[in-house]
Amino acid sequence: MAFEDNKRRNINLMAKPSALRILALVVAGGASLGGGYWLRQSSDSAAPIDWNSSVAHETLVASAGGIQDLPESDYYRRVVDILDRNYVDEHMDEQKMAIGAIRGMITSLADPLASYMTKEQFAVFLKNQSGEFEGIGVELKLNWNDEKLAKYKKDEQVDSSDLVPDLIVTAIAPGSPAEKAGIKIGDRVESVDGRWVLSARRIEQFRTNLSKIRESKLTSEEMNTRIRAQFDGFKEGMSPVKAKDLVTMGTSGKVILSWQRDKEVLKAEIARQNTTWPSVIKTDGGVQFRFFTGAEKDFEQLLSTNEPLIIDLRNSTQGNFDTLLKIVEKLAPAKRYGYFVHDDGKVQSSLESKATAKPWPALTFIVDTSTRGAAEILATAFGVDKSATKIQGGKMAGELSLIRTTLLPDKSGFAMPIGKFATQLESKDLNKPKKMAMSNSAEVQG
């Protein structure tokens, strides 16, 4: 009975005066319109901004700082949108584009310590950090002319040849094919598999040769042949980055390498293989310690003997900075050992221990110019207290930057310096450190 009543009521509603009916219709209509619009907006929220809408455009123009300071994420959206709507190939991978943007940024820093690595390069990089080496078993460094690089960064006009780095050997894995072939730290790679490696020196030589030919009074034929030969020979050059990969990646085949030491050029055919470099190698002259992944445990073991230690830090790789931080933060007596500072004086973080560890046994660090990266920071930090630590040997490499590595969703990645180690702050470094240098590698999930 009640049901019938309702029906009757409903029918009655529809027979009600037109004003209320119209209101009901308007509400229903408005709700439908609004509902559709809302659904569209919420599903478009991750999609590009509609740049043709004048409202959005006006907002941007009115923003403080003017048009040139468009926030980077809006800029990114706009560029992606332009490509999305217009590029001839409608199948585009936005993740690939975002990673391309990251690569562009890292490369633009023009910093020898900042580099983007492809998936393959990053995998070998991580292996190296764990003491596993491929190729001929060396760590190579691209060595730029710092002065010229600084000029280039200031957008001054630099001779492009000055921006070509040298390829230098900075560490040699014990027992590696490179060690057996007689390669030494500081050697410069000249040619790989018959192709010479591009360098500032080579470019200068090419220009000098060309200039000599052009200034000579040879016949047209002769000059033509010689100039052509110069150009052809020059085209054979290999980029230092490619040479680096050929020498340090892969575990099969051989590489024909020529390298220069002072005025001597040496040559050999060297096999590629896996070489394992242990974090700890005990020798008569002391313990060779390397900052490979997980080596903090080995260091803890060394300390546990409580005997005075001689630690040989020569022939060190750049190292895993996490290992360094763990050694200081977990194993060292409580103290602030120093700071990681930006070039402009801003303090990134401090290197300190809050652990309740007992004092270390008397340490002697053996160092030289092949001591760099994590090893150099440790020796510098602990060398301050001369009563507890002796530094034996000469000047170190001068590579005191803390390097952060970041893994990207496609397994490529990049490295970037986030502060140079200093035992004390200068008066210009006004900021107090906000945090301790915690875990050093940031993994960006995706």
Partner 1 sequence: MSGMGKWIWLPVACAGLFVAGFMSPDLKTGHVSAKPLANLTKRFSKEEPATFEPRELFSNVFASIGKDYSGSMDQRELKYSAMEGLVGSLGDPHTMFMVPDISREFKKETSGQVDFVGIGARLQPDPQGAKIVSVFHGTPAYNAGIKSGDIILSVNSKSMNGLAIDKIISNIRGEKGTDVTITVLRVSTGQKLTFTMKRNKVLTPTADGFMLDGKQIAYVQVFGFADTTPQQFEDTLNTLDAAKPKGLIIDLRSNPGGLLEAARTMLSRYIADKVVVTMRGREGIEQEVPALSDMAKPLTYPIVVLVNEDSASASEIFAGVMRDYKLATIVGEHTYGKSSVQNLFPMPDGSSAKVTIAKYYLPSGVNMDRKVDEEGKYISGGLLPDVNVSLNLGPATVVGDLKTDNQLQKAVEVIESKL
Q: Of residues 84-123, which lie at the interface with partner 1 (CB under 8 A)? A: 86-90, 92, 94-109, 111, 114
Applying the rule CB under 8 A, the residues between 352 and 381 that interact with partner 1 are: none
Cβ of residue 155: shortest distance to partner 1, in angstroms?
A: 9
Cβ of residue 328: shortest distance to partner 1, in angstroms?
A: 19
Tokens of 125: 């990089």
* Cα separation, 81 vs 71, whole angstroms: 16
Which residue, 358 or 434, has its beta carbon nearer to partner 1?
434
Binding of partner 1 by 304 (CB under 8 A): no
Burial class (CB in 10 A: 0-12, 13-18, 19+), 369: middle
Cβ of residue 134: shortest distance to partner 1, in angstroms?
A: 20
Cβ of residue 430: shortest distance to partner 1, in angstroms?
A: 17
Binding of partner 1 by 201 (CB under 8 A): no
Query: For partner 1, which stretch binds (CB under 8 A), given 30-38, 127-135, 262-270, 276-284?
Result: 30-38
- Alpha-carbon torsion angle 120, 125, 127, 129, nearest 10: -170
Binding of partner 1 by 11 (CB under 8 A): yes
Which residue, 342 or 390, has its beta carbon nearer to partner 1?
342
Cβ(117)–Cβ(423) below 8 Å:
no
Binding mask 316-355 for partner 1 (x = CB under 8 A): ------------------------xxxxx---x-------
Tell me which residue has tokens 């930057």: 401
Applying the rule CB under 8 A, the residues between 160 and 179 that interact with partner 1 are: 160-162
Q: Figure out which of the listed residues 6, 8, 22, 29 binds partner 1, where binding follows CB under 8 A.
A: 29
Which residue, 125 or 206, has its beta carbon nearer to partner 1?
206
Applying the rule CB under 8 A, the residues between 49 and 88 that interact with partner 1 are: 50, 52-53, 57, 60-61, 67-70, 72-73, 75-80, 82-83, 86-88
Cβ of residue 284: shortest distance to partner 1, in angstroms?
A: 39
Cβ of residue 307: shortest distance to partner 1, in angstroms?
A: 38
Which residue, 214 or 282, has its beta carbon nearer to partner 1?
214
Cβ of residue 269: shortest distance to partner 1, in angstroms?
A: 23
What is the chain's alpha carbon radius of gyration, rounded to the nearest angstrom?
32
Provide φ and ψ at 288, rounded to 5°.
-85, 120
Cβ of residue 387: shortest distance to partner 1, in angstroms?
A: 32
Which residue, 29 or 398, has its beta carbon nearer to partner 1?
29
Binding mask 219-258 for partner 1 (x = CB under 8 A): -xx-xx--xx-----xx--xx--x----------------
Binding of partner 1 by 12 (CB under 8 A): no
Which residue, 88 or 387, has its beta carbon nearer to partner 1?
88
Cβ of residue 43: shortest distance to partner 1, in angstroms?
A: 4
Rounded to a whole number of angstroms, the distance between the first and last alpha carbons of the chain is 61
Burial class (CB in 10 A: 0-12, 13-18, 19+), 270: buried
Query: For partner 1, which stretch binds (CB under 8 A), given 312-320, 321-329, 380-388, 396-404?
Result: 396-404
Applying the rule CB under 8 A, the residues between 407 and 446 that interact with partner 1 are: 408-409, 416-420, 442, 444-446
Cβ of residue 239: shortest distance to partner 1, in angstroms?
A: 7
